[in-house]
């Protein structure tokens, strides 16, 4: 890679700001959400108290609602800036099922190269788009769980209150899985962390 390419501003300031705000919001929402879940579990397990936030149901709800606004508003800013700046089209399109299959095979073999950080491979494109959709589903289902009467259309689309709780849980699980894979990839390619810190 040339010196000019290495010094190119790959991640603008607004993107880095949204990324780190999102990271904080997700940690707060997941940990407080696990405490809320423990008060009325959907399944036969609960989360260890050491991994939860809030101390009790009321405290967890306060943390969760505070982080919800942070996550939601930051998400709107992120999507708006991606669309208005043209970054969405430049970095995520076009999509190719054939290329996704090839990149997935290379990834499973440990041969998927990531030498040019200015470009996303097809696995990255699809992963980032899917996690963005999961974020929208998470907020939508959360609104139904929080204000079911005030959002009747969303409640109907989710299949009712109880179904919305399930959707909310699965969307959270998908985002947690994405974060784990994301952190593993950062550990394998540490220069991506430097890029997200300084943009170049």
**pLDDT tens digit string along 177-195?**
999 988 888 887 777 777 8
Last residue of a domain, one of 47, 65, 93: 93
Number of domains in the chain: 2
Helices 191-198 and 161-188: crossing angle in degrees, nearest 10, is 110
Residue 77 lies in a domain: yes
Predicted structure pTM score: 0.85
* Enclosing domain of residue 150: 97-200
Clarify whether residues 66 and 120 are in a common domain: no
Domain identity same for 81 and 62: yes
In-domain check, residue 5:
no
Q: Which residues of 116-135 are buried (b: 16+ CB within 10 A; e: fewer)?
A: ebeeebbbbbbbbeebbebb
**Domain-ending residue, one of 68, 93, 118:** 93
Is 3 a domain residue? Answer: no
Among 103-107, 111-115, 119-123, 185-189, whose mean pLDDT is lowest? 111-115
pLDDT confidence tier of residue 2, bands split at 50, 70 and 90: very low
Q: In this predicted model, what pLDDT tens digit does every residue of 19-58 receive, in sequence order?
A: 999 999 999 999 999 999 999 999 999 999 999 999 999 9
Widest CA span in the chain: 58
Confidence class for position 113, pLDDT limits 50, 70, 90: low
Look at residues 53, 78, 93 and tell me which one is the last residue of a structural domain: 93
Q: Is there a single domain that holds both residue 86 and residue 109?
A: no
83 plus 121 within the same structural domain: no
């Amino acid at each position: 890679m040339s010196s000019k390419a290495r010094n190119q501003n790959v991640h603008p300031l607004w993107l880095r700001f949204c990324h780190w705000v999102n990271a904080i919001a997700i940690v707060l929402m997941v940990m407080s959400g696990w405490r809320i879940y423990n008060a009325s579990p959907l399944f036969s397990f609960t989360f260890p108290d050491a991994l939860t936030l809030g101390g009790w149901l009321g405290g967890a709800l306060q943390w969760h609602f505070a982080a919800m606004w942070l996550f939601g508003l930051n998400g709107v800013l992120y999507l708006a800036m991606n669309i208005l700046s043209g970054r969405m089209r430049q970095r995520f399109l076009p999509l190719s099922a054939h290329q996704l299959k090839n990149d997935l095979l290379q990834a499973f073999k440990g041969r998927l190269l990531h030498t040019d950080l200015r470009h996303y491979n097809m696995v990255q494109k699809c992963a980032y788009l899917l996690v963005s959709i999961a974020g929208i589903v998470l907020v939508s289902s959360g609104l139904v769980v929080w204000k079911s009467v005030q959002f009747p259309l969303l409640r109907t689309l989710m299949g009712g209150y109880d179904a919305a709780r399930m959707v909310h849980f699965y969307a959270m699980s998908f985002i947690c899985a994405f974060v784990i894979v994301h952190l593993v990839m950062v550990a394998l390619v540490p220069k991506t962390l430097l890029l997200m810190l300084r943009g170049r």
